[in-house]
Amino acid sequence: MKRSISGQSKPVLVVATIVALIVGAVGGFFVGGAGAGVVTVTSTIERIKTITETVAADGAVITMTVTQTLTTTLVSTVTQAPAVEVESGRLLLFTWEEEATDAFLNPFREKYPQVQLETAIYGDQDEMVAKLQAGFRADVIAPCSDYIGILLDLGLIQPIDVRLLDNWLDMFPELWAAPGVVVDGEVYFIPTNIGQEGIMYRTDKIQREITSWNDLWDPEFAGHILMPDDPKISIAIAALALGFKDPWNLNEEQLQQVKEKLIEQKPLVLKYSDEPDVEAAELMAAGDVWISVGWIPEVNELTSEGIPVKYVSPKEGEFIFMCGNSIVKGTQMPVAAHKLVDNFLAPHVQTAFADPEEFGYWVTNKRVVEEMIDPEVVEAAGLDKVLEVLQNAVFEEAVPNYDLWISVWEEVLAA
Amino acid sequence: MKRRLSIYHIYAIPTTAYLLLFFYIPIITIIVYSFWIGGPFYEFKPGFTLENYVRFLTSRVTQNVMIVTNVVAFLSFLATLLVAYPIAYFLARVLKGDTGLRIILLMLIPLEMNYLIRIFAWRNILGEQGFINNLLLTLGIIDEPVRIFFHSMYAVIIVIVHNALPYAVFPLYITLRSIPQNLYQAAMDLGSNRVSTFFRVTLPLSMPGIAVAFLFIYVPMLGEFAIPALVGGKTFLLGNLITRQYLDVGNWPYASAATISLLIITLIASFLVFKYMGVRRLYE
């Protein structure tokens, strides 16, 4: 997706332009022109790839340059931040169930007692968009990078002033170039966790090794397979199983093949689930589902209940999602909203996200990774290799011809 | 003659206001939306087009879903009727006095429980390791768990029958109660046996009750989405199609056109049932 910038005078733009220039100098994927305001933000994963490759080729020097320059610029900007007070009043966080916990939110409540923090939950991002669009008033939401474009098109989110985020400087600076973060020279999205989406299965019901997305097509598991009722992920799974390299960009002929592949799978499927994260865990615990699309936190949860499950990253590639927070346009509590976004970058949340026995995500706060987590854990989970993860994975992206995807999926459901 | 407003018309205000606010205005909103220019992900704009209707009524998806929905609705109705008729007959014609009515009141108690909770309860009863399978396994009737009870069309029908039973028993009870006793004596006098009395007297005269049961069961089934979503596995009905369009796809004009089409179809069906199946007799 391409977006061009219109002239704006906020400090964020200056900062972003500098980022763009630096990244441009390193990788050549950004075309920057500060004065004229002509900055084109191009496709995302490529950018990160370029940075990492250059870093790998030239060693630590370039990494140092990138980080140092950014830090200097930002420090000078941050010191100029206006003194602002956190408003008092009601603040609504609209988020995933797993993030609306007291462990995450109580430190914020203690720090800003004048804010009455309330939470509301959604099961998937379509639901979140639907409710906001229908007039539901939230202040902070927890989208993932693939939905930032949609949220922006609908005018549902507003720019974030990074000067108000205390932990912003601790974030991996390379993530500035990650998808959804900077759009049109403004920061709209603060990534806080990066996770994997692959296959999970019951090791007592399935003896053989699971290695591929095609294992979801194995007639031996007939009636025990769960697929998500989600055109995006289900079609992408079929595309990877068919061997297509870029599952987010499929032409009509490929979509036709995907449709046939999914209809071929249908007799084997137990259910297309609307809330696969909750339902796959429930049905796997009950023994109805043996193999399903899966996530590490769910596998951890099932394992702790004594159910023998395993997560595998299929050989065709697993999906990587990057989620975080955005501020809803027109919030009455802008400063408090910024402080709440900042809360999710803070060490108490970031260490929990990184805990392999809890969430098992990659986190975005570099200082937390380097200073606050057991180096053995960092090593084992590759927490310091966030960029390589983004580079190798099938990153979840917005789909250009999504209306076609929707009708293909509907035909599968109605087949 | 001119109708004059009297003080008693004030009594109609709360009901009228309620209906206006929560029924007529939403319906009109949906009708307006159905003519807007549609698009996925809430990218719809005001305008006037019939495209949503054309697309809905001509698409292959709709045709498939319509067939499945009607099959499920009809089988559910038939199954409910087969269970409800003997119960209603027993309550109305075998028991004396008000006992039948009291039992019907008992049947209404489960309806006090939340609809979704009742469906969730069924998930525990129908599962592969659920109550039914465990019972059948323990009794030695089956050797391994039967899988058709959960995440299938049959599970949908079982749950619907359970939900719909009181709605079928009640109108059947009323019609069966209202058949005059002397008709039976006349049939017997004219040499009819029990079986032919049932088919030539009882059944035709209970048609209005069957018609009402049809309206109570078949019509809501056309828009049902929670039961298939929770126990139906792959079962994808009209209600699921519409819900998807509203909540997941975000194409409100298309979803609205589908809703209005469904509304019109059910209105026609209800009209026909009322007109030709003698429902009028129930309240005259």
Structure-token pair, residue B248: 């997941």
Answer for the pair B206, B172: CB distance below 8 angstroms, yes or no: yes
Exposed / middle / buried, residue A120 (Cβ in 10 Å: 0-12, 13-18, 19+): middle
- Say yes or no for a CB contact (<8 Å) between A129 and B41: yes
Q: Which chain A positions have a beta carbon within 8 Å of B241's beta carbon?
A: 410, 414
End-to-end CA distance of chain B: 28
Q: How close A193 comes to chain B (CA, Å)?
A: 24
Q: Which residues does residue A115 pair with via DSSP β-bridges, in sequence order?
A: A89
Q: Which chain B positions have a beta carbon within 8 Å of A269's beta carbon?
A: 233-234
Cβ count near B206 (within 10 Å): 24
Question: What distance lies between CA A120 and its chain's CA centroid?
Answer: 19
Q: Which residues does residue B228 pair with via DSSP β-bridges, in sequence order?
A: none
Amino acid at B90: F
Chain A residue nearest residue B230, CA to CA: A273
pLDDT per residue of chain A (415 residues) written in tens, 0 to 9: 333 333 333 344 444 444 444 444 443 333 333 322 222 223 333 333 333 333 333 333 333 333 334 443 444 444 455 557 888 999 999 999 889 999 999 999 999 999 999 999 987 888 899 889 888 999 999 999 989 998 998 999 999 988 889 898 888 888 888 888 888 888 999 999 998 899 999 999 999 999 999 999 999 999 999 999 888 899 999 999 999 988 988 999 999 999 999 999 999 999 999 888 888 998 999 888 999 999 988 999 899 999 999 999 898 988 889 999 999 999 999 999 999 999 999 999 999 998 888 888 999 999 888 888 888 888 877 788 777 777 767 777 778 888 889 889 999 999 8
Answer for the pair A163, A76: CB distance below 8 angstroms, yes or no: no
Backbone angles phi, psi at A94, to 5 degrees: -110, 110
Q: How close B147 comes to chain A (CA, Å)?
A: 8
Answer for the pair A229, A274: CB distance below 8 angstroms, yes or no: yes
Q: How close A208 comes to chain B (CA, Å)?
A: 22
- pLDDT under 50: residue ranges of chain B: none
- Say yes or no for a CB contact (<8 Å) between A266 and B127: no
Residues in chain A: 415
Q: How close A382 comes to chain B (CA, Å)?
A: 35
3-state secondary structure of A200: strand
- Say yes or no for a CB contact (<8 Å) between B39 and A406: no
Q: Which chain A positions have a beta carbon within 8 Å of B64's beta carbon?
A: 414-415
B40 to chain A, any CB pair closer than 8 A? The answer is yes
Mutation target vs A (from B134, B151, B254; most A CBs, 10 A cutoff): B151
- Say yes or no for a CB contact (<8 Å) between A288 and B40: no
In the DSSP assignment, the letter for residue A245 is S
Answer for the pair A26, A66: CB distance below 8 angstroms, yes or no: yes
List of domains in chain A: 87-158+321-380 (3.40.190.10), 195-318+399-414 (3.40.190.10)
Of A130, A154, A286, the CB nearest to B247: A130
- Say yes or no for a CB contact (<8 Å) between A414 and B64: yes
Amino acid at A161: D
pLDDT in tens, B128-167: 778 888 888 888 888 877 777 778 899 999 999 998 999 9
Sign for the CA dihedral angle at A242, A243, A249, A250 comes to negative
For helices A231-241 and A252-265, angle between their N-to-C axes, nearest 10 degrees = 90
Of B60, B240, B250, the CB nearest to A129: B250
- Say yes or no for a CB contact (<8 Å) between A414 and B61: yes
Answer for the pair A351, A371: CB distance below 8 angstroms, yes or no: no
Could you please report the per-residue DSSP string of B159-184? HHHHHHHHHHHHHHHHHHHTS-HHHH
Q: What is the ipTM of this complex?
A: 0.81
- Compute the distance between CA of residue A322 and CA of residue A211 in angstroms, rounded to an integer: 24
The reported pLDDT for the residue numbered B6 is 78
Chain B residue nearest residue A149, CA to CA: B41
3-state secondary structure of A191: strand
In the DSSP assignment, the letter for residue A6 is P
Stretch 125-144 of chain B: residues touching chain A, C-beta under 8 Å: 127-129
Q: Which chain A positions have a beta carbon within 8 Å of B60's beta carbon?
A: 411, 414
A354 contact partners, CB below 8 Å, separation of at least 6:
A360, A361, A362, A363, A368, A369, A373, A377, A381, A383
Say which residue the tokens 């999205």 belong to.
A189
- How big is the CA angle at A342 (ends A339 and A345), to the nearest 5 degrees? 160
- Compute the distance between CA of residue B216 and CA of residue B238 in angstroms, rounded to an integer: 17
List of domains in chain B: 25-283 (1.10.3720.10)
Round the CA-based radius of gyration of chain B to a whole number and report it: 23
**Could you give the dihedral angle defined by the CA atoms of residues B186, B190, B192 and B194, in that order, rounded to the nearest 10 degrees?**
30
B241 to chain A, any CB pair closer than 8 A? The answer is yes
Answer for the pair A230, A293: CB distance below 8 angstroms, yes or no: no
Q: Which chain B positions have a beta carbon within 8 Å of A415's beta carbon?
A: 64
In the DSSP assignment, the letter for residue B152 is S
Candidates B272, B210, B258; CA nearest to B66 is: B258
Of B43, B127, B236, the CB nearest to A413: B236
Give the residue numbers in A contacting B (CB under 8 Å), as ranges.
124, 126-127, 129-130, 133, 150, 153-154, 223, 229-230, 266, 269-272, 274, 286-288, 402-403, 406-407, 410-411, 413-415
Per DSSP, helices labelled H in A266-374 are 276-286, 296-304, 334-343, 347-354, 366-367
Answer for the pair B37, B52: CB distance below 8 angstroms, yes or no: no
- β A362-363/A190-202 pair status: antiparallel
3-state secondary structure of B216: helix
Candidates B222, B227, B256; CA nearest to B55 is: B256
Structure-token pair, residue A163: 């000067």
Candidates A198, A193, A87, A90; CA nearest to A142 is: A193
3-state secondary structure of A408: helix
B223 to chain A, any CB pair closer than 8 A? The answer is no
Q: Residue A37: left (phi > 0), alpha (psi -120 to 50), or beta?
A: left
- Compute the distance between CA of residue A195 and CA of residue A138 in angstroms, rounded to an integer: 25
Q: Which chain A positions have a beta carbon within 8 Å of B240's beta carbon?
A: 413
List Cα–Cα distances, B98 to B91, B92, B220, B283, in angstroms. 9, 9, 30, 20
Of A126, A230, A271, the CB nearest to B250: A126
Longest dimension (CA), chain A: 64
- Compute the distance between CA of residue A37 and CA of residue A185 in angstroms, rounded to an integer: 9
Q: How many CA atoms lie within 13 A of B132 on its CB side?
A: 16
Cβ count near B280 (within 10 Å): 10
B86 to chain A, any CB pair closer than 8 A? The answer is no
B11 to chain A, any CB pair closer than 8 A? The answer is no
- pTM, rounded to two decimals: 0.77
Locate the DSSP E strands across chain B. Answer: none
Residues in chain B: 284
**B57-86 per-residue burial string, b: 16 or more CB within 10 A, e: under 16:** eebebbebbbebbeebbebbbebbbebbbe
Candidates A321, A223, A308; CA nearest to A271 is: A223
pLDDT in tens, B91-106: 988 888 888 888 988 8
